[in-house]
Copies of this chain bind each other. A is one copy, B any other.
Amino acid sequence: MKVKSVDIARESLADRVRQILTDRIVDGTYPAGTRLVEMQIARELNLSQAPVREALCALEAARFVETEPYRGTRVRRIGERECREAYQVRAVLEGLAAELGTANLRARLRELRAAADATLAAAKRGEVMRYLHHNVRFHQMIIEAANNEVLRQTWESLAFTVGARIRASRATGDMIAVAKEHREIVEAVAHGDARAVGRLLRRHAEVLVEGMAEV
């Protein structure tokens, strides 16, 4: 009988490689522009080129990296323009989410308000990472309330574009102002005013776009 080492591996090697590379890109170990050389990574992780290549293929699809034929793969660089564009798209997606999901959201009002409060609290204390965490959570709740899987995935596909830029720019400028807007949004949800929620979310994203500095 074969004993599976510890069976931590229910996933394929390629999946694990993908996860590792994703982490490194997100946490800044591989900054924008870094070349990802297949055999280098393969040797480091003690495996062959194939699973690495597959992981890179997935990362390219998620637009984390760019690949040119015979020229290799590098971590994608996200410009101010692209980030602005992504914010505009996200804004309407969240606006839609609001109109679809305000009713559901109202049922979980307590939770939503908690997220908003946590965001504000972190902002006031200047705890950037915590602030970002709760901020994401707040928006995520809104998206999930819409109960529209296509919407959720589409929204998530923009997360990297937006997130990378935020981290890069350290644009934590007016965290407090942003967090306060969350409370406004919570109030609109409490009143069940879907249109208002949508409008606030769209404006919310627009403000963030304005507040973005060039790097």
Q: Which residues of A contact B (CB under 8 A)?
A: 11-12, 50, 53-54, 57-58, 60-62, 69, 82, 85-86, 88-89, 91-93, 95-96, 100, 148-151, 154, 157-158, 161
Contacts and interface: CB of A to CB of B under 8 A. Distances in A.
A86 B153 CA distance: 11
A207 to B, nearest CB: 17
> Main SS of the interface on chain A?
helix
Contact of A88 (B151, B157, B161): B151
Q: Assembly of this chain: how many copies?
A: 2
Contacts of A50: 50
A96 B100 contact: no
Contact of A57 (B58, B85, B86, B93): B58
A91 B85 CA distance: 17
